[in-house]
Amino acid sequence: MLAVAILVGGAALPAIVIIILFYRADSARPEPVGLIGRSIIYGFLATIPAIGLELVVDQPAAWLPGVAGIAWTAFVTAALVEEGVKYFFLRRYLIRNPAFNEVMDGIVYAVCVSLGFAFAENLLYGLDGGWTLVLRAFTAVPMHAAATGVMGFWLGISKRESDPSAAAAARRKGLLSAILIHGCYDFFLFTGTVLAAGALVTLLVSSRHLRRLVRRAKEIDDADEEKSRSLT
């Protein structure tokens, strides 16, 4: 029983810390705690279709040679499938919610979905031992937050667009950005060579990019709020 508690606690802790950081970053206009919790659950549930899809989608990697097989697994099996299912849950269950009414909201909800997903992954990887959880706490978990958080920014932007084609373009940019970040991280890691250091570079660059988007989102939301006040 103690081992199970340690596994669950170790798997959840890094996700909880990051969620708190993003929730506090949105403290000016915080999101409903209940919807935050549902977002995490959606991310956790998203692992179910992701696992099934990955088992099917990864089949071509077995006969693709060398780097091509690694690229397929990284960009298609892992990145496309995992970010795709997160995108589905965000679009299906969250983006139309009245509480999702700012650009920063897109980042917060996307990060929560991504970390629900990462928590479920941690439970599986944690079966290999505690050191795996420690390593993932500083690598894979923040990578999920960075990749899907960038996607969330563009989903937030899409809600501001009155032109349907512009909104669709913003959503596509968000999804493709998440796939690129996730895919590059996994590709470097899956090489199993010195190129694996590229995964850390990808994590650092994408995390800095997300921080810039957080600042930009706040500026947009503050300007929208000021404009709304001036019209009343």
Percent of the chain beyond pLDDT 90? 82
- As a whole number, the mean pLDDT across the chain is 92
What's the pLDDT tens digit per position in 134-178? 788 899 999 999 999 999 999 999 999 999 999 999 999 999 999
Sign of CA dihedral 209, 214, 219, 223: positive
Q: Residue 133: what pLDDT?
A: 80
Q: Residue 229: what pLDDT?
A: 78
Sign of CA dihedral 138, 148, 223, 95: negative
Percent of the chain beyond pLDDT 70? 93
Q: Residue 200: what pLDDT?
A: 97
What is the pLDDT averaged over residues 29-52?
A: 96
Quick check: 5 pLDDT over 60? no
Confidence of residue 132 (pLDDT cuts 50, 70, 90): confident
What's the pLDDT tens digit per position in 51-89? 999 999 999 999 999 999 999 999 999 999 999 999 999
At 104, the amino acid letter reads M
Q: Residue 51: what pLDDT?
A: 96
What is the pLDDT averaged over residues 5-27?
A: 82
What is the pLDDT averaged over residues 126-140?
A: 78
Q: Residue 2: what pLDDT?
A: 47
Quick check: 11 pLDDT over 60? yes
Quick check: 6 pLDDT over 70? no
